[in-house]
Amino acid sequence: MRNTAVLSSLLVAALALTGCSDNHTTRAADSISVSGTGKVSAQPDIFSVVATARQQGDDIDAMKERVDSQVDRMLELADDLDIEEKQVTASTLRISPQWQYQPERKLIGHEVSRDVTFRVKGLETYARLLDGLAKQHVKDIRPAGSEVSNEHALSQRALKKAVQDARQQAEVAADAADRSVGKAIRIDVQGTSAPHPVMMMARAKDAATESYRAGETDITAQVQVTFELE
């Protein structure tokens, strides 16, 4: 009796597994997986720039004084443009030896320098900053990238568009097979991206708001979606 009961239990379990397998196969056969892409274009509105005060020569104390003075003028310019103090970073002093290698290696002086990094909101303020730095005769000015302030919200919009794009593609394929698309049963978000282009800087003498173009950046999202077929 005990052996008979065990065999009966095993038979029921086997039938149950077979049923699960059939249901899984049917579900897999009645679905479609597609990729979707969403894109939102936006104009950068936050800009970064690095300006370097630099002096070369033999008198380190005198060079340090001139560099510090130029950095002070940069910081005053930032204040005049109402750039927040936390968005301006002045580095510590750097002193580097300058070598001559031909016809023989010998020390010919030193370079003293400091960087000032600005993070500016708005293209107009950015252009006025560059114009002001040029008027201060700062010779080393380097754009350090641009950002979109509401990037998170735009990434969500791009993601929504990606899912909608996936459904549209699934509907086209299903219609060709005389089927219709049901609910999404699996969504894999494959990531979002927002490359930050570096805006080209106009020549110093042409530094005015109209001389700069921020351009646009594309925020994209990729998804893989599986839909039921009806």
CA-angle at 119, arms to 116 and 122, nearest 5°: 135
Quote the pTM value. Answer: 0.70
User: Under CATH, which number does the domain 29-43+151-229 receive?
Assistant: 3.30.110.170
Q: Is 75's pLDDT higher than 80? A: yes
Q: Give CA 49 to chain center in angstroms.
A: 17
Length of the chain: 230
Q: Is 119's pLDDT higher than 50? A: yes
Q: Which of 114, 35, 22 lies closest to 75, judged by CA? A: 114
Yes or no: say if 146 and 47 are a contact pair by the CB < 8 Å rule. Answer: yes
What is d(CA 149, CA 119) in angstroms, rounded to the nearest whole number? 12
Predicted local confidence at residue 148, as pLDDT:
92
CATH 3.30.110.170 occupies which residues in the chain? 29-43+151-229
Average pLDDT of every residue of the chain: 85
Look at residue 56 and give its three-state secondary structure.
strand
pLDDT tens digit sequence for 190-220:
988 876 554 544 443 444 456 677 778 899 9
CATH 3.30.70.2970 occupies which residues in the chain? 46-147
> Residue 214: what residue type?
A
Give domain 46-147's CATH superfamily: Protein of unknown function (DUF541), domain 2 (3.30.70.2970)
